[in-house]
Structure formats: C-alpha cells, structure tokens
Amino acid sequence: MLTSDSLVAPARLPREIYLANASHGLPSAPVFKALQDYLVEEAEWGGAHAVERHEEQFAAGYAAAARLIGADTDEVAFLESGNRALQALILSLRLRPGDHVLVDRTCWGGTLDMLADLPGVVVDVMSTDAHGRADVAATRATVHPATRCILLTWCPATSGIVNPAEEVGVLAREIGAFYLIDACQLLGQRPVDVKRLGCHGLAASGRKWLRGPRGTSLLYASREFLSARPAFMADQLGRLRKDARSHEQGEASYAGRLALGVAIQGALTLGLDAIAAQLSEVSGQLREGLRALSCVNVVESGEDLSAIVAFSIEGLSPEYVLAELARQGIRIGTLSATYAPLDMAARGLDVVLRAAPQVYTSERDIAALLQAIARLAAMA
Ligand SMILES: *Cc1c(COP(=O)(O)O)cnc(C)c1O
C-alpha cells in the first residue's frame, strides 16, 4: 500500500475525473512547488546564477534518475521530450545506407518517421506472438546480418501489452547490435534495471508515468555506448562533456529539469514495486469492469499487462465517446493509428479509446467511468 499522501495525491484538485494518465500524469505537490519556486528564483537572480544556487538539487535529480534505472550518474541526462531523447540516441548511431534497424510492431509513429528520414536505412519489423508482443524466438531466425540496432518499445501507447525487453536484449547481444529502448510508457510504472536489460540507450517522457513537468524526458546512454557513439551534433557545452549530458542542450527549461528530478525522487520514495502493485490493482479493476460490459471490447490480451487500458464500444465512435465522457466530467484519451501505425494496422484499428489510472485513482473514479460507459452503450 502507498502511504505518503503528499507524494500520491495531485498537487491541485483535478477538475475532472482524470484517467488520461498515459498522456500526462498529474504532478504531486513537491513537484509543482519545485517548478514554481524555481521560476521565482530565476526571476529574482537571473537564470545562470539560479542554476549555481541550486547545484545540489540538480545533482540530486540526476543521481535519483540514475538510481531509478540502475545506471551510474554519468549515464543519465534530462532532455526535452521522449521523441527528442529517442532522436538523440538514434542520430548518435550514425547509421549509413544499407544498415538495418529492427523494431517491434508497436514502434512509435514518430520514431518510424525519423528512421524513414535516414537515407538508405532499412527498417525491419520483429515477428509477434498472439498478443502482439515481440516474439524473440521467431524473430531470431529472420534477423538481417546488417542489423546495427534493435529498437524496442517496451510498453506501447496503444494497448496494455508489455514487450519482453530482457529477452530482446539477449538477441541484441547475440547479433552484436546496439539495443535501444523506448520506455516512454513504462518508466514510472515499473522498476527498471538497465544493466539487466543490457540496453545501450533508453528514453522516457517526464510528464507521463513519472508525473514530471511537460517538456522533460530522461535519456540513458551506457558508458560503452557513449564512447563508441558520442552525441551527434552536441552543442558547445555538450562538446566539453563525455558523459550522457553531452546529449543535453545548454539552453532548456531548468525549472523543468529540477522538477523532473523531484518527481523521480518522489517515485523512488514511494517505491517502484509499490507503485507497480497499486497500478496493477486499479488497472485490473478497470479492465475487469470493462470486460464485464457486454458492449465493450477490451482490445488487448495477455497475462502481464500495464496500466494502459485500450478499448472500444460497439456502435459508438471513439471521438463521440470521448466527447460524451468529457461532458460528464470524465477525462480519458483516444489514440489514432498515426501514433503506432504498424500495430494499429495489424489490429485493424483506426482509433482506440484509452483509459489509464494512476496511483491517485480511486475505486469511485473507476466506478464512475464504468457507469458512464454502461449508460452510453445502453443508448447506442
Ligand atoms: C509518448 C510516447 C513517445 C514520445 O514521447 P514525447 O515525450 O511525447 O515526445 C514515444 N514513444 C511512446 C511509446 C510514447 O508513448
């Protein structure tokens, strides 16, 4: 059970029943306060000196980020978005025409677009099992010899499946490819240990499950990766560094960076095992409740599911459902095929409804959503 109310509860009273946590998690009071206080510091002291005055807090944030994923402090950096962190890792590979990149079916649309912009680089897609997860055994037989990198979406945005990240790491080692992980939907949901995963790089949004501020992300680059593949187009400050922060731009929202550090420290204080247990409990309730409604299709399957619940309602468009729920003060999300085109096409979906609880989600919130959906479906 999670005991620290000040780290669990949102800083501000949500205006709606809030179940759009896969898009944005609501910040806790310490995160919100850190953000506000730092802006005041910048206004009163100027940006450069404000950084100096808070050196210890920034260092504590990076140390916490390293602890969160089992890395060393010189292997983590704070960037501006999940996309930006993925881009930094991919560009540092310096792929050449004829190089192959192996992705899983749930690969983020933005990542596929980035890879398509690299001249001559070929993208291969892993085989999948019956649940749509990467099937490592089936993939092993078909890996192209010019595969330079495997890029795995650990937990997709489009459903609750969780890809077998450790097993994929074994395959990457076998074929001598770099291994990068998109953990945008996983970091903050579950414990992460990059050494066990054997990955060279990992990227995650700050605003999603870590409940950090917008415009932040975490980048991990292993020491080995940093020396083999230094940051691509580092800025003048980045060029002076050899650590993961060579990927950072000197100019950024320092308030955001500081507050992301506070969000990570909060997650560590609550404990990732306790967070994972709580998320499993509330998302389990939500999923079971939806499955019990005759008109609802929960469009994901498998034993080990994340807190993202994807579903559709027979006879009602996702856009209509979203708008109707919003009218009733309930906020969920939709996700269209552009965000994960391969996965959505394989599942025959254009748009999917997505509800994601957080540690602050109550049984009453879930009951309210289930009731509202039952009413909508009855009218369809
Ligand atoms: C959100 C997300 C991204 C992109 O992250 P941003 O912080 O929005 O740039 C990438 N991959 C997955 C799986 C995501 O859910």
Pocket of ligand 1 contains residue 185 by CB under 6 Å: yes
CA of 339 to the centre of ligand 1 (A): 9
Strand arrangement of the beta sheet that strand 296-298 belongs to: 296-298, 309-313, 351-355, 333-336
In 10 A of CB 263, how many CB atoms? 31
Ligand 1 in reach of 83 Cβ (< 6 A): yes
**pLDDT at 90 (0 to 100):** 98
Closest Cα to atom 8, ligand 1: which residue?
82
CATH topology of domain 5-27+271-379: Aspartate Aminotransferase, domain 1 (3.90.1150)
Q: What is the pLDDT of residue 3?
A: 72
Residue-level pLDDT at 380: 77
Q: How much is the pLDDT for 334? A: 96
Atom 6 (ligand 1): residue with closest C-alpha? 82
Q: Determine contact, residues 87/109, Cβ cutoff 8 Å.
A: no
Q: Alpha-carbon distance 358 to 190, whole Å?
A: 12
pLDDT recorded at residue 64: 99
* Burial class for 88, CB neighbours closer than 10 Å (0-12, 13-18, 19+): buried
What CATH number belongs to 29-270?
3.40.640.10
Strand, helix or coil at 123? Answer: strand
User: Length of the chain, please?
Assistant: 380
> Looking at residue 379, what is its pLDDT?
84
Report the atom number in ligand 1 closest to the C-alpha of 84.
Answer: 9
Q: Which two tokens stand for residue 259?
A: 């507050």
Nearest residue by C-alpha to atom 5 in ligand 1:
82
E strand or H helix that includes residue 151: strand 147-153
CA separation for the pair 53, 51 (Å, rounded): 5
pLDDT tens per residue, range 184-193: 999 999 999 9
The answer for residues whose C-beta is within 8 angstroms of residue 127's C-beta and 6 or more apart is 134, 135, 138, 139, 142
Q: 322: closest CA among 368, 369, 284, 363?
A: 369
Is residue 218 within 8 Å of 75, Cβ to Cβ?
no
pLDDT at 1: 66
For CATH 3.90.1150.10, list the domain ranges present in the chain: 5-27+271-379
Distance 17 CA to ligand 1 centre (A): 23
Give 286-305 pLDDT, tens digit per residue. Answer: 999 999 998 999 999 999 99
Give, using CA atoms, the residue closest to atom 1 of ligand 1: 184
Q: What is the pLDDT of residue 4?
A: 78
**Residue 52: its pLDDT value, please?**
98
Nearest atom within ligand 1 for CA of residue 205: 7
Q: CATH 3.40.640.10 occupies which residues in the chain?
A: 29-270
Low-confidence ranges of the chain (pLDDT < 50): none
